[in-house]
Amino acid sequence: MRDLSMRRFARDLAGELFHLDTRLWRSIGTLLFEPGESARRAVDDESQSHQVVELDERARDSSTPRSLIHPVRLYLAANLLFFIIVPLLNTDQITILYNDLDVLEGLAPAYADVVAEEALAKEQDLVAYRAQLDAWIRSNQGALIAVLLPLLALPLWIMFRRERRYFLEHLLLSASFYTIFLLTLPLIGVTIRLLTGLGASSGALDSSAALVMILTPTFVWFAGLLLWLWRALARYYEAGPVKSLALSIPLCLVSLASFGAYAHLLFWIGVLALRTSS
């Protein structure tokens, strides 16, 4: 007879929460200090599971938990957390990867003309159309950031095409990299706000000092990303240190450029979504 008591339920729930907590911290620790390891283990887990199914489907225990959270799941969680925290950190002076219509028009001033033409075509008031498009961009940018994964996975596939890996394997490393990106970028924003706040309170915040306070943490952050990617390439693809370093530099630049491509894509998808809506 099954035990459906509240005591059993509470004990099982506590066990599940503790297991999730330990997996979460273990996954984050592995992601930070063993670059590429979580993606490599995910590939190994899938390969072993496939081999077990081929030998005997009944031998596979699907309830057996994995030691680490899957890289894509961790990326989705970091994505959600990022778009909750970042709006709280942004100011009129500093915007951390949070797009609205004004930001996108700042990237491409010609978008203001596109918005005016779209409002005219829909026979809608310009202010009302701008508010509608801005609301769409704000509410959908978290979901559309998933387009970043193939933007980094594609150059990885090109660089390591001789290894005959599946494209999904490159996507897993891409997910790990962007998880690091999204988890650490808010920390840089907090650091910049603290530095500029201290400078302003001391009365020593001129334009050159503010620029130094912004560029220094940004440079340290970019160097950390470069180091992480260098070690990840060496571990995941078993590439030599020189090759890994040579490839990590353009890949880091590609990852930064991909956010620009994502911002423009966000604008055009929003325009098309409103164009097709009633």
More confident call, 164 vs 125: 125
More confident call, 269 vs 97: 269
**Full-model pTM:** 0.78
Range with lowest mean pLDDT among 40-44, 188-192, 196-200: 196-200
Confidence (pLDDT) at 68: 82
**What residues contact 220, with CB distance under 8 A and at least 6 apart?**
none
Confidence of residue 114 (pLDDT cuts 50, 70, 90): very high
Confidence of residue 6 (pLDDT cuts 50, 70, 90): low
Stretch 162-168: mean pLDDT: 87
Cα 201 to Cα 83: distance, rounded to the nearest angstrom = 29
Confidence of residue 17 (pLDDT cuts 50, 70, 90): very low
Instruction: Decide if 75 contacts 34 (C-beta within 8 A).
Output: no
Confidence (pLDDT) at 112: 93
Range with lowest mean pLDDT among 14-18, 54-58, 101-105, 111-115: 54-58
CB-CB neighbours of 49 under 10 Å? 14
Judged by phi (left if over 0) then psi (alpha if -120 to 50, else beta), residue 125 lies in beta
**What residues contact 167, with CB distance under 8 A and at least 6 apart?**
153, 157
More confident call, 109 vs 211: 109
The residue written with tokens 């978008």 in the block is 111
Confidence of residue 111 (pLDDT cuts 50, 70, 90): very high
CB-CB neighbours of 275 under 10 Å? 10
Reply yes or no on whether the pLDDT at 208 is more than 70. yes
Reply yes or no on whether the pLDDT at 72 is more than 50. yes
Reply yes or no on whether the pLDDT at 56 is more than 70. no
- Extract the tokens encoding 158: 């090109």
More confident call, 241 vs 197: 241
Cα 179 to Cα 6: distance, rounded to the nearest angstrom = 38
Closest CA to 193 of 84, 97, 93, 103: 93
Confidence (pLDDT) at 77: 86
More confident call, 108 vs 203: 108
Q: Which helix (H) or strand (E) holds 157?
A: helix 148-159
Tens of pLDDT, residues 27-38 = 889 999 999 999
Instruction: Decide if 115 contacts 126 (C-beta within 8 A).
Output: yes
